[in-house]
Structure 1
């Protein structure tokens, strides 16, 4: 096998790896095929041209593959695939002046086990103690954690 065939195996293996990282998510036939072609190129270089050529081919593969992937994701096309924005959202905290333990209200929707409730004119997300609470049921605040209200139905 000629040196041209080894170079073609390396190039095809690199292209398949690039397809694996950029186009097809997960471990697919493209990634496995890319690694097999790169391994085959190194094997052929060792078998046909000896130890020195094999180690040179192995070094080229070990340098070219990560470098190609790194520069692809730094290119304009690669940057379109990467999230560039910072997430600046935050969880709403419960106003502990308006809602306190022991307050009563009504469920707006079914709590299974979480849902919307209206307490002191405020519509908030609440969690039941484990049982389902039907729509329009009177509830009582049992506990207020960082951003969670625990409620129970009021037994009549």
Structure 2
């Protein structure tokens, strides 16, 4: 009977590893289920029907309790990362580029691409048309994170 209890505890441990450490269906989860099923099967075969029923009921209750404790919020707080990301991706182009500034495209604007304006490289958007590389451009509008350009009129 010691080996059956040991196998059930090992199966429950593998299920906890599956829930908390290795997400998805992996060897730990499948192995845990197989070990638990084998332990219950062994209880029926080696010790009779009554002991098998008791083992099955104990295993079902232990599994429910284990799953309930593993999925509680406090359990997840202990194993999860507790930091906040305070950075921003948005760049403020209003201070560097003004409407009317001129530049030269580096890549094709279809409608977005790279351009050199005031000696710096920016991602720019063409207004309504495709612009070939090495074409002179004029800035017509600057949003917080978007520079809209058009080909320079010659």
TM, length-normalised to structure 2: 0.60
Query: CA 1:56–1:26 in structure 2 vs 1: closer, same or farther (change >3 Å)?
Result: closer
Query: CA 1:56–1:115 in structure 2 vs 1: closer, same or farther (change >3 Å)?
Result: same
Q: RMSD of aligned C-alpha atoms?
A: 4.0
Summarize deviations over 1:19-58 as a string: whole Å, max 9, x none: 4442x55432222222333455466668652555433321
Match of 1:63 in 2: 65
Higher Cα radius of gyration: 2
Structure-to-structure mapping, 1:7-156, within 5 angstroms: 7-20=5-18, 21-22=20-21, 24=22, 26-41=24-39, 49=51, 51=53, 53-67=55-69, 78=79, 82-90=80-88, 91-95=90-94, 98-100=97-99, 103-107=101-105, 109-111=106-108, 114-120=112-118, 123-128=121-126, 131=130, 133-134=132-133, 136-141=134-139, 144=142, 147-154=145-152
Alignment gaps of 5+ in structure 2? none
Checking the alignment, whether the CA contact within 8 Å between 1:142 and 1:151 is kept in structure 2 is: yes
Rounded Cα–Cα distance in structure 1 between residues aligned with 2:131 and 2:31: 52
Aligned length: 145
Summarize deviations over 1:76-114 as a string: whole Å, max 9, x none: xx4xxx4332111112233178433x653223x425755
Q: Secondary structure at the match of 2:92?
A: coil
Alignment gaps of 5+ in structure 1? none
